[in-house]
């Protein structure tokens, strides 16, 4: 239910409701993932910064780590600086054409979630299938760590 609510709120304006202090009404604050991703893209001078909400929405819609697609985009095209045919992911050996970068985000997210090559795999297995070179997994994981905390890491 929480995930569904987050998706709805992101789609409505990229805001999530958080509980306020006891005795006060709930306050609205930006989804930390969106803020962090926008900051990250800004630091990298990535021309895809304005698409940060789409990365979050696509990840939530397809139950992917929110940092995966941005991480791949940085490794493959420096965050869209060196894209070809609106393909910021190197999808299809870089030959796949997308009508828009946004369309590519949702298409790749869908494929990483539902295609027979990727479905039911964790993030590392997705990356190993995406590009089997060990250094690729390591590099994308480094970028993902730079973007933000691992949502599966519950250690404090």
Say if residues 80 and 101 touch (Cβ distance below 8 Å): yes
* Other Cβ atoms within 10 Å of 14 Cβ, number: 17
Q: Name, in order, each residue with C-beta under 8 angstroms of 47's C-beta and a sequence gap of 6 or more.
A: 79, 80, 81
Q: What is the pTM of this model?
A: 0.80
pLDDT given for residue 150 in this prediction:
83
Closest to 71 (Cα-Cα) out of 137, 116, 7: 137
Q: Over the stretch 10-69, which tens digit does the pLDDT of each residue have? A: 444 444 333 333 443 445 667 999 999 999 999 999 999 999 999 999 999 999 999 999
Instruction: Answer positive or negative: Cα dihedral of 45, 51, 56, 60.
Output: negative
Spatial distance between the Cα atoms of 104 and 74, rounded to a whole number of angstroms: 14
pLDDT of residue 151: 77
H-state helical runs in 64-156: 68-77, 101-114, 123-130, 134-147
Out of 1-10, 52-61, 106-115, which region has the weakest mean confidence (pLDDT)? 1-10
Dihedral in degrees, nearest 10, Cα atoms 27, 61, 79, 96: -160
């Amino acid at each position: 239910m929480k995930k569904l609510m987050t998706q709805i709120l992101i789609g409505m304006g990229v805001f999530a409701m958080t509980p306020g202090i006891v005795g006060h009404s709930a306050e609205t604050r930006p989804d930390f993932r969106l803020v962090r991703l926008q900051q990250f893209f800004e630091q990298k001078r990535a021309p895809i910064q304005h698409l940060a909400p789409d990365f979050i929405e696509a990840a939530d819609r397809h139950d992917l780590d929110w940092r995966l697609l941005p991480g791949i985009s940085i490794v493959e095209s420096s965050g869209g600086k060196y894209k070809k045919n609106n393909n910021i992911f190197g999808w299809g050996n870089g030959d796949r054409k997308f009508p828009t970068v946004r369309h590519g985000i949702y298409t790749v997210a869908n494929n990483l979630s539902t295609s027979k090559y990727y479905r039911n795999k964790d993030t590392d297995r997705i990356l190993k299938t995406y590009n089997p070179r060990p250094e690729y997994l390591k590099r994308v994981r480094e970028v993902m760590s730079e973007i933000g905390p691992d949502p599966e890491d519950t250690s404090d």
